[in-house]
Structure 1
Amino acid sequence: MDERTVAVGRRSLVALAALNFFLADARDGLGPFLDAFLATRGWSPFALGAIATVGGLIGLAVTPLFGALVDGTRYKRALVAVPVIVVTAVGLATLVAPTPAIVWIGQVGTAVVGAVIGPALMGLTLGLIGPRLFGRQVARNEFWNHAGNVVSLAAVFIAVSLYGEHAIITLMIVTAIGAVVAAMAIDPARIDHDAARGLDEAGDSAKPSGLRVLVKTPGLLVLALVLLMFHFGNAPMSRLVAQQFAIELGTPFRTTAIITGVSQVAMIAVAVLAPLMIRRFGLATVLLVALCALPVRGLIAGTNSGFWTIFPVQALDGVGAGLIGIATPIAVERLLAGSGRFNVGFAAVMTMQGVGASLSNVVAGSVVSGYGYQASHLLSAAIAVVAVAIFLRFRRSIAPERSDATDAASATAAR
């Protein structure tokens, strides 16, 4: 490989890092601020949960199709850039005029177009780096994503303190432009589209279609079930914590920035340590640690009510969700290596975990309305215990360990 090719490759990896940095804010529109923002405008926990559930389920219906699209298309950069533009536009509309019609249409639209970003980003990563170093690059992606979240949250806190809530508009536009520019800066010639869909070097032509991957690959279905349960318990907790304290303190954006910032700082540390943990203890152990963080988190949040609880609760969110975010695509890539359907399989797993997250929103909203915030957190902890038990039973098939020279090379490169 000549120096020019190496330089182009490095440029694309720098662009990939920048893309993950800006996507931290740009892929979700108002993201974690939406609930707190609408809660201070009189929206009930049940109404907010219903919006998240309906939008999420509609988005999930198209996620496997988007996975197949990523597998087959050579326009992966556009599948990141275009949704960012749409999500930003509907987020700005919601912020300027949070009427029921705009909020509902905006969140459903965000869920649909945002569903393609995850598979497209994983496809870009696998196509640029290849399977040998995929695990290390996923951890790097997560590092830059969480670093972008921390910077974004700090910017929100400072901007809102100095200029008021409308400063969010400028920040959303800046991060959207940054994400689009970074996506377009990736050299399309550096993307191996066969590698991006999980084909092996021999060009294996086996192409299981759609959700057949989920039912025909050992371990994938159980992995999806465990992640469904994990996200059912985990997804609403940060939202409810933000709602609760935003109402009590009357500062939705600054309160949410603090609450979310704690988990993002923890996720940065997790992203740094995850490759070492996987190499030293194995993928199954790392997934077990991630799953066990949720019962502890729910128990703390469910038995304490002071603002100080956000620190252990959100730090454990960083451990659990952070490790899950890194370990899941690695597990799927190992399970589907050589099939040519990595993105369909990954999208199918994302769909299952998204079903859990979406259904949990309306359930958690109902529990909060009837029994309070702490009851919802304890329910999350109980569900997480069941997920841990299932994982312990099937951990060998869910998270296979590599034993070939490729894995050794990957481990050496991660040092």
Structure 2
Amino acid sequence: MQTTSQTGLTDHSLVALAFLNFFLADARDGLGPFLDGFLATHGWSPMTLGIIATLGGVLGMVATPLFGAWVDASRRKRMLIIIPVILVTAAALWTLASPGNASVFGGQSATAIVGAIVGPALMGLTLGLVGERRFSHQVSRNEFWNHLGNVVSLAGIYAATVAFGLNGVIGLMVLTAIAAVLAALAIDPNRINHDVARGLAHDDGAPGPSGYSVLVGSRGLILLAVTLMIFHFGNAPISRLIAQDFSIQLGTPFRTTAVTTGVSQLSMIAMALAAPFLIRRFGLAAVFVIALLALPIRGAIAGSFTDFTAIFPVQILDGIGAGLIGIATPIAAERILAGTGRFNVGLAAVMTVQGIGASLSNIVAGWLTNIGGYGLAYWVHGGIALLAVAVFVIGRDSIAPSQKNGMDAAVDR
């Protein structure tokens, strides 16, 4: 059996994992947050952009649980990251070269489908490398390097567009994709424990559940999925709308989006550093509550102020909310599913349900913007998060159980 960090994982693989997360920040999503600003300045309407985002979300939602099961079964987890990175980068370059219906709808559809495997594959790879005991801490480290990579990438894109225009963006995308591939290849495959990677650190010998039975058979997982579905319905479109709004106002889509997204990413770095302490000191449930409450405040501020300076508190709150949720979700899923052997498919099922909220929100946000402007959309989507808070409070003990064997206190050691 392969060993994990608990029995001598080399620093080499952990360093490679850090670099992988750093470069995946830019390589896994293609144009990512820049798509809306770029297309908005090419005449695409908020409603059409909402339809594109919804289409991508639905396709990713369908693909994610299948890919989660694939990650559980696969012993080539590095390749499940490398191949999507190459395909996503190719689709993004196609869109930049020719932003027409075929490239935008076709490219974003392909990005959504192949990109859906990266999240489960990265979580499975992480769990297989470090083991259950170190998983919470390593997820926080992954998020730190991912958000740091985002900040560096955003700064690089800002500078590249000033110096070289669109060609600078293309060059950076190619370089980060190559770097992500090399980082994945640098991880020692013999150090990945594939049983631990699927949640069998405490296997009792009984066959684990399969497919969606993991989701429907667990009250905690159902409530986690519903909480995240509501949260992402509220949160998903706000940054997109901000990028559209100010890109049109200022006429600089890449630089404007780099600034707005950079603020949230810096906030997420702070959350990644703080999360281990917060979980140890206050518990996983408290971290969820902080994250969920950040969204209604964010929506109220965005809906009340129209000056560009308002993006700073709005995007800082995005880093607090989405940043902490991104760390807390896989930790909660691992605790709920420990011993089932279906960690990745269970996490993928949760991501699929949250994807329903995120996907539907985009078209609703486009409709709200058309009838009442950006301010109405901010107020409505921010307010929706209060329902997520209510669901979490009802099921908090099931959604965020204490770590088995009383290891919460070891989360940051």
TM-score greater than 0.5 by the shorter chain: yes
Amino acid in structure 2 at the alignment position of 1:125: T
> How far did 1:323 drift?
0.2
Aligned to 1:314: 315
Aligned to 2:178: 177
Where in structure 2 are the equivalents of 1:61-100 lying within 5 Å?
Answer: 61-100=62-101
Write the distance in 2 (CA, Å) between the matches of 1:182 and 1:109: 23
CA contact (8 A) 2:279 2:408 kept: no
Secondary structure at the aligned position of 2:361 is classed as helix
> How far did 1:200 drift?
2.4
CA contact (8 A) 2:131 2:201 kept: no
CA contact (8 A) 1:205 1:340 kept: no
Alpha carbons of structure 1 residues 407 and 385: separation in structure 2 relative to 1, 3 Å: closer
Write the distance in 2 (CA, Å) between the matches of 1:348 and 1:98: 33
Secondary structure at the aligned position of 2:29 is classed as coil
Write the distance in 1 (CA, Å) between the matches of 2:9 and 2:198: 22
Aligned to 1:355: 356
Aligned to 1:233: 234
> How far did 1:55 drift?
1.5
Write the distance in 1 (CA, Å) between the matches of 2:56 and 2:76: 26
CA contact (8 A) 2:335 2:404 kept: no
Aligned to 2:291: 290
Aligned to 2:269: 268
Amino acid in structure 1 at the alignment position of 2:405: D
Cα offsets for 1:257-315 (capped at 9, x unmatched): 00000000000000000000000000000000000000000000011111011000000
Write the distance in 2 (CA, Å) between the matches of 1:243 and 1:130: 42
Amino acid in structure 1 at the alignment position of 2:226: L
Where in structure 2 are the equivalents of 1:117-266 lying within 5 Å?
Answer: 117-202=118-203, 204-266=205-267
Write the distance in 1 (CA, Å) between the matches of 2:298 and 2:56: 26
Write the distance in 1 (CA, Å) between the matches of 2:206 and 2:191: 22
Does residue 371 (structure 1) correspond to residue 372 (structure 2)? The answer is yes
Where in structure 2 are the equivalents of 1:373-388 lying within 5 Å?
Answer: 373-388=374-389
Cα offsets for 1:100-123 (capped at 9, x unmatched): 111100000000000000000000
**Structure 2: any 5+ residue segments left out of the alignment?**
none
Cα offsets for 1:131-158 (capped at 9, x unmatched): 0010000000000000000000000011
Write the distance in 1 (CA, Å) between the matches of 2:408 and 2:275: 15
The TM-score, its normalising length taken from structure 1, stands at: 0.97
Write the distance in 1 (CA, Å) between the matches of 2:205 and 2:221: 20
Runs of 4+ in 1 over 6 A off after TM superposition: 5-8
Write the distance in 2 (CA, Å) between the matches of 1:205 and 1:137: 28
CA contact (8 A) 1:165 1:253 kept: no
Write the distance in 1 (CA, Å) between the matches of 2:210 and 2:203: 20
Q: Name which of structure 1's ranges 399-408 and 31-40 shifts more when overlaid on structure 2.
A: 399-408
CA contact (8 A) 1:37 1:252 kept: yes
**Structure 1: any 5+ residue segments left out of the alignment?**
none
CA contact (8 A) 2:9 2:130 kept: no
> How far did 1:19 drift?
0.3
Does residue 341 (structure 1) correspond to residue 342 (structure 2)? The answer is yes
Aligned to 1:111: 112
CA contact (8 A) 1:204 1:340 kept: no
> How far did 1:405 drift?
4.5
CA contact (8 A) 2:280 2:408 kept: no
Amino acid in structure 2 at the alignment position of 1:369: N
Secondary structure at the aligned position of 2:10 is classed as helix
CA contact (8 A) 1:130 1:195 kept: yes
Write the distance in 2 (CA, Å) between the matches of 1:20 and 1:403: 27
CA contact (8 A) 1:8 1:187 kept: no
Write the distance in 1 (CA, Å) between the matches of 2:144 and 2:204: 32
Amino acid in structure 1 at the alignment position of 2:132: P
Amino acid in structure 2 at the alignment position of 1:123: G
Secondary structure at the aligned position of 1:43 is classed as coil
> How far did 1:382 drift?
1.7
> How far did 1:36 drift?
0.2
> How far did 1:166 drift?
2.1
Q: Name which of structure 1's ranges 391-400 and 24-33 shifts more when overlaid on structure 2.
A: 391-400
Write the distance in 2 (CA, Å) between the matches of 1:344 and 1:30: 27
Amino acid in structure 2 at the alignment position of 1:317: D
> How far did 1:9 drift?
1.8
> How far did 1:403 drift?
5.3
The TM-score, its normalising length taken from structure 2, stands at: 0.97
Secondary structure at the aligned position of 1:213 is classed as helix
Write the distance in 2 (CA, Å) between the matches of 1:221 and 1:393: 12
> How far did 1:204 drift?
3.7
> How far did 1:400 drift?
0.5
> How far did 1:8 drift?
6.3
CA contact (8 A) 1:295 1:384 kept: yes
CA contact (8 A) 1:274 1:323 kept: yes
